Structure 1
Amino acid sequence: MRGRLTAGWLLFVVLCLAAGLSVGNRKAATEDYRVGEAGRAEAMAAEGGLERRPQEQVLISGPDQAKATAEIIARMSRLAEVEAVDLPVRSTDGHTLVVVTLRGPELEARDHVAALRTRTAEVQARYPSSRVEQTGRASIGSGMDQRRGADLARSEMIALPVTLIVLWLVFGSVVAATVPLLLALTSIAAATGLAMLASHVFPDAGVGTNVIILIGMAVGVDYALFHLKTDNARPVIVSSGLAVALSAATLYLAGDVIYASLATATILVTLVAVAGAVTVLPATGGRRITGRPGRTWAWPARRPVTALVLAVTALLALATPLAGLEVTEISVESYSRKVPAVQTRDRLIAAFPELRGAHQIVVRSDPAQAPRVRAVLAGIDASPSRLHTSADGRTTVLTVPVLDRNDSPEAARSLTYLRKDLVPGLLNVVPGAEWAVSGDVARITDYPAHQRERLPLVLAALLAVTFLMTVAVFRSVVLGVLGVLLNLLSAAAALGTLLLLSPGPVGSRVPLFLLVVLFGLSMDYQFFVVSRIRAAARTGLPAPDAVRTGLTESAGVVTSAAVVMTTVFVSFIFVDLAELRQMGIVLAVGVLLDAFVVRVLILPTILRLLGERAWWPGRAVG
């Protein structure tokens, strides 16, 4: 029987991977990312055939730049991926710029840019005394993908051996230590295949794999520990997994392709890990290893009020930096300068400052009003090369250069001025005109604004899930309220610690995603600790003794799981990608605080003080 279950699990993993690979991964398209006024402007432009086209810039300098420029133009013009090559432009400091426009949508350019970069490298090799280098959104995106892959590989090289060592210390056996690790790795493999299938419903925004690895290692090891170190852990594992999955599902309410991708990845890898933990783990015959009682947990029982006040005060102090939280959309301005295409962009901007970024004013009107619209927009920028009208005359787009950093206050003020004052004031004279402003600054402004708008809805759903899941499992309204409050306290302290350790703006996707994940993981420990305490109470022990017994049985498991999980998250702190690094910090700190402070100190102390009232309107016994 054991052999069949193990073989069945491995077959399931292989089938998931095979099914995913057979249908492939559907990447999110440009239109999937549109939010706010910027998204509305881009949709209007696309309707008129004036959407942003993918462009690459080749920057040339040195003694042979004339020959290199001619050769770049000739080689690029022959490529099937290229739609047009502009005439070269020379800067005041002696650089030459060649702009190459690719065929197809903006996001697909990353898949086709390799051919262009190959031609640039060939020309560079022919003229070594000159500098011939390429940049652009596609080149930078491709470079960031390579950097992300290298970061993940390095994280795995750190996380896997360290996790194995920690598990060996916990279990005292290398064989036993490999079981949680194998569950995590096979869960990641199966979830990766399932995520490819799911991408045809929820397009992959390019973050799914990162999340599957991050969460898969955490919950896979977590559930394996619950199984191997306790009896009858199956109900707790199932309840915990459902809690994590339902918490992640609240991200769908954000109405954003990136959050939908994050939610899908988290749900799939969590449910797969649960399935493995309740089916294949019992088949391994792994022995139960009971955590030894620790004197560390006796002090709160002796001085509960003092322990509670000190612990809550410490967490509130860690949370105070959240008052100054600033979020920003991570853009090319803050990308790692270790990516060659980003370095080239810096040199490009130094030579051609007007290419740093742009506002795009999109106007839709009756075709008969097109001349009037063009005249009005020409009053903003008279350059004919920046003003385009669609073939049907309904859509006109003006591109206005931005000389400031796209994430600077100056750029934000210029966007506000265009949207609130200049454009409405000028276009009000055009009957029936509809307008919106997009561009580089608008994209990184509207995205965080869209998240702030959806935050109350997601947060309300998350709190409701926490409350209802706790009430459903333990039949206690008091525990439901307590779970919500403690999760908020734990998550706030973890996010506040991030601001202490890493001052400055936080990636716009970080707070909400981590809030959801921390709530889910916190419920893991909440369910485990409370279930042990309730089991002790059902034997007839008074409340203080039940808490002490339940804590003795659960504290070692929870803290061991937290230490192992933290080793996984810490490995992400050493990556170059800012958002991934910030996620690693928050998750590592959050798990440690939740396990060592909230679940084995604050929660049991409150339960001891509440006594039988903690189970209202039900009872622990019966």
Structure 2
Amino acid sequence: MATFLYRLGRFAFRRRRAVALVWVVLLALVGFGAASASSPGPSQFSIPGVEAQKAFDLLDQRNPSASADGASARVVFKAPEGQKITDPANKAEVTRTISAIEHGSKEVASAANPFENNAAVSKNGEIAYSTVSYKVSSMELEDASKDSLEHAAEQAQDKGLTVEIGGDALQAEAETGSTEVVGIVVAAVVLVITFGAIVAAGLPLLTALIGVGVGVGSITALAATLHLDSTTSILAMMIGLAVGIDYALFIVSRYRAERAEGKQPEEAAGRATGTAGSAVVFAGLTVIIALCGLAVVNIPMLTKMGVAAAGTVAVAVIVALSLIPALLGFAGDKVLGREARKAAKAVRDQGPEAQARAVAEAHRGDDGEHKVNGGTRWARFVLRRPVRVLLLGVIGLGVIAVPATQLELGLPDDGSQPTSTTQRRAYDLLSDGFGPGFNGPLMTVYDGKGVSDPQAEAAHVVAEIKKLPDVAAVLPAAFNPAGDTATITVVPDSKPSSHETETLVHSIRDVGKDVKASDSGEVLVTGQTAMNIDVSQKMNDALLPYLVLVVGLAFLLLMLVFRSILVPLKAALGFLLSVVAALGSVVAVYQWGWLGSLFGVEQTGPIMSMMPIFMVGVVFGLAMDYEVFLVTRMREAHVHGESPAQAIETGFRHGARVVTAAAVIMIAVFAGFIGSSEQMVKMIGFSLAIAVLFDAFVVRMMIVPAVLALLGRRAWWLPKWLDRILPNVDVEGEKLHKALGDGSSPGEGPQDPDAERELTRV
């Protein structure tokens, strides 16, 4: 692989105009496709294999009106202090408002008058609500319809009523906020500090933006066809931007290192692509495996998110391998540090070989050796006290992980919205007026097809449910026109996210089992609350198989990369430490509210069901990135004859500064998404930022060198029989170095003419 990528890097360097033109044209075509694509329709949220989805599908088949997917709004009215909503003036204003809503848009299917149904007025007479149904989904609802709804509510407020609107009719697309831009600015500053050259800092940013433009543009162009929502593109942008910057950063950094060794520009570009590029390929593969592996959960929306993000990562890898060498050809010596640029400029008239030697001299000390940097000093510090460093890292992450034992999963509803939103205020008013369980009714579906007397059997089910604890109300069974399927609405006495409500769902399902056992029909429970419970359970059940699949496949990949068993095992265990510590931090902030104000948490509650498993997939891929980039350089040094301790120093001398910069950039990019209005994006942004912090600076910088120091040569042990079976992918470039004749003098390429022809063949 290293040899192929070496040829690719030199080809892209030589044919830089053609390569750059291809990417510009591709970006333009994708941009045109995204701009001309139709807006996506409603996203289809389905959870195959769970009871709540089975009940919903049954209703969709037998009684479509009961499972209509049109938008809805709950307009909640509260009388002024000391008055009743049923007072003549207030009643007239509510009736006028409902009429204005019903006739204000052609998309309104119905708007219920609360005074025609006593159940829609609270017992104390202060609060009433109207359910407004629309003919189209919330994604298809026109702005004029939303404006009409809000305008009618404002007019009622002007008359002294409190009016809030819940439901999904006013649902807005996710926004990332201005902090995303701050993350990119921080990334730019870190790159400038790392490279000491504006051009070198700009290359990773430019290529990452091009990669994200192609990846996210493709997602936007296909959104309507594949039913992708806005969250999918935001997550793909987040991950694509972070890995795009990092992959380019590693190749540019290796290019500068090759120039510091005295290589001429084209040769340095080829070597950088052949060595660092190989690490980029395998690092990218681990991320792609982790994201595509989300398909094992069998939740279509999660699968689409994973595949879309994986596609963006694949684009980032291809950009790094092809566009970066091309842009390095355009940049010339401008990507070098100040001293190296001055040295090259001083001998410009003496030819490229003299310039290459001058650049190499600028990177060496007075004794002719490479200057000792912070990475070398840190490696020596760890090598002197590996046990203490190892214990400090493991115990520290273990303590941070403790809150993860209290992890509670759920899906968001209006109760998780900030108190500044009208949806949250409507939720609170309904809870005050009708009880905490009113916002999470359970839709019980009775399937009486083939039953001799379904009416009587449904009445029996209603009676049994009324006997259960924590039941506030049970509405009579409402049958479909065929008379074989009924819906029974059950209002819990507790709030939707409570353990009591979860217990009630299971109790109703137990009633259903008894009914089914008597061959009298089938009882199923659905609705948003039941769906939340089922999704959480499905996620818990899928987490272990997902971990086994992803870690197993990545373990095999890393075995190919490092030709070792213990190094991949150490990498996997370190990843688990990072994940549980990150989950502990998420629970502490978003579930318990610790430092919540610092991270914009206005409402604590259960962690989104899909967040942990999505975070696990992404973090695993990113953790393996740092493992590959840092340890590959150690493996490369070890293969070339250095002792284990020397190899650790070499790896940190070349990789510590770059990995540190890459981690800071990733943290900045991910943290930029904490300002998103979408709860899923906000939590993932925080969890990925904190996970990268733990993985890069604790696991990879502390635990990895400490463990390798303790293992010594045993770290690189591989049974001979396994060594013969495994294909040699040559990630560290051993074959490449031999073919290049690395005994050559500075500035020279391959010494063997046949090797030269083979390596430059494209």
* TM-score greater than 0.5 by the shorter chain: yes
CA-to-aligned-CA distance 1:432-466 (integer Å, 9 cap, x gap): 51221112321111110011111121111111122
When residues 226 and 337 of structure 1 are mapped into structure 2, their CA distance, relative to the original with a 3 A threshold, is: same
Contact kept in structure 1, 2:543 and 2:613, CA below 8 Å:
yes
- Within the candidate set 9, 12, 16, 2:30 is matched to 16
| Residue aligning to 1:553 | 654
Find out whether 1:72 has 2:101 as its counterpart. Answer: no
| Residue aligning to 1:332 | 414
Structure number with bigger Rg: 2
| Residue aligning to 1:102 | 134
| Residue aligning to 2:689 | 588
SS of the residue corresponding to residue 187 of structure 1 reads: helix
CA-to-aligned-CA distance 1:109-143 (integer Å, 9 cap, x gap): 34326444322333345552233745232135x14
When residues 177 and 65 of structure 1 are mapped into structure 2, their CA distance, relative to the original with a 3 A threshold, is: farther
Tell me which moved more, 117-126 or 330-339. Answer: 117-126
When residues 567 and 292 of structure 1 are mapped into structure 2, their CA distance, relative to the original with a 3 A threshold, is: farther
When residues 99 and 510 of structure 1 are mapped into structure 2, their CA distance, relative to the original with a 3 A threshold, is: closer
Find out whether 1:389 has 2:432 as its counterpart. Answer: no
- Within the candidate set 383, 393, 414, 1:311 is matched to 393
| Superposition deviation, residue 273 in structure 1 | 0.9
| Superposition deviation, residue 69 in structure 1 | 2.0
Find out whether 1:117 has 2:134 as its counterpart. Answer: no
Find out whether 1:293 has 2:360 as its counterpart. Answer: no
Contact kept in structure 2, 1:26 and 1:204, CA below 8 Å:
yes
Find out whether 1:52 has 2:135 as its counterpart. Answer: no
- Within the candidate set 291, 294, 297, 1:248 is matched to 291
- Within the candidate set 599, 602, 616, 1:515 is matched to 616
Tell me which moved more, 565-574 or 500-509. Answer: 500-509
After superposition, where does 1:90-239 map in structure 2 within 5 Å? 90-91=121-122, 92-104=124-136, 108-112=137-141, 114-124=143-153, 126-127=155-156, 128-131=158-161, 133=163, 135-139=165-169, 142-143=171-172, 145=173, 148-149=174-175, 152-196=176-220, 199=223, 203-231=227-255, 232=272, 233-239=276-282
Alignment partners' CA distance in 1, 2:672 and 2:392: 30
TM-score by length of 1: 0.90
Report the count of equivalent residues.
611
2:141 corresponds to which letter in structure 1? Answer: H
| Residue aligning to 1:491 | 579
Find out whether 1:570 has 2:665 as its counterpart. Answer: no
| Residue aligning to 1:598 | 699
Alignment partners' CA distance in 1, 2:663 and 2:682: 19
TM-score by length of 2: 0.74
1:220 corresponds to which letter in structure 2? Answer: G
Tell me which moved more, 311-320 or 228-237. Answer: 311-320
When residues 71 and 542 of structure 1 are mapped into structure 2, their CA distance, relative to the original with a 3 A threshold, is: closer
Tell me which moved more, 55-64 or 237-246. Answer: 55-64
Question: What is the identity percentage for the equivalent residue pairs of Structure 1 and Structure 2?
Answer: 26
When residues 169 and 386 of structure 1 are mapped into structure 2, their CA distance, relative to the original with a 3 A threshold, is: farther
Alignment partners' CA distance in 2, 1:70 and 1:197: 43
| Superposition deviation, residue 64 in structure 1 | 5.4
| Superposition deviation, residue 589 in structure 1 | 2.1
| Residue aligning to 2:463 | 379
Give the root-mean-square deviation of aligned CA atoms.
Answer: 2.9
1:52 corresponds to which letter in structure 2? Answer: S
| Residue aligning to 1:400 | 490
Contact kept in structure 2, 1:198 and 1:264, CA below 8 Å:
no
CA-to-aligned-CA distance 1:392-422 (integer Å, 9 cap, x gap): 22211111223421101222222222112x4
Alignment partners' CA distance in 2, 1:250 and 1:177: 33
SS of the residue corresponding to residue 29 of structure 2 reads: helix
Tell me which moved more, 247-256 or 295-304. Answer: 295-304
When residues 351 and 116 of structure 1 are mapped into structure 2, their CA distance, relative to the original with a 3 A threshold, is: farther
When residues 378 and 565 of structure 1 are mapped into structure 2, their CA distance, relative to the original with a 3 A threshold, is: closer
Alignment partners' CA distance in 2, 1:200 and 1:575: 23
- Within the candidate set 435, 443, 459, 1:360 is matched to 443
| Residue aligning to 1:544 | 645
SS of the residue corresponding to residue 399 of structure 1 reads: strand
When residues 605 and 349 of structure 1 are mapped into structure 2, their CA distance, relative to the original with a 3 A threshold, is: closer
| Superposition deviation, residue 474 in structure 1 | 2.4
Alignment partners' CA distance in 1, 2:512 and 2:93: 44
| Residue aligning to 1:4 | 18
1:310 corresponds to which letter in structure 2? Answer: L
Alignment partners' CA distance in 1, 2:481 and 2:279: 63
When residues 27 and 110 of structure 1 are mapped into structure 2, their CA distance, relative to the original with a 3 A threshold, is: closer
When residues 579 and 258 of structure 1 are mapped into structure 2, their CA distance, relative to the original with a 3 A threshold, is: same
| Superposition deviation, residue 607 in structure 1 | 2.4
The runs of 5 or more residues in structure 1 that have no matched partner are none
When residues 321 and 72 of structure 1 are mapped into structure 2, their CA distance, relative to the original with a 3 A threshold, is: closer
Find out whether 1:323 has 2:405 as its counterpart. Answer: yes
When residues 169 and 534 of structure 1 are mapped into structure 2, their CA distance, relative to the original with a 3 A threshold, is: same
CA-to-aligned-CA distance 1:1-23 (integer Å, 9 cap, x gap): 32332222122122223334444
Alignment partners' CA distance in 1, 2:215 and 2:615: 20
Alignment partners' CA distance in 2, 1:339 and 1:126: 18
1:239 corresponds to which letter in structure 2? Answer: F
Tell me which moved more, 212-221 or 351-360. Answer: 351-360
When residues 358 and 547 of structure 1 are mapped into structure 2, their CA distance, relative to the original with a 3 A threshold, is: same
SS of the residue corresponding to residue 239 of structure 1 reads: helix
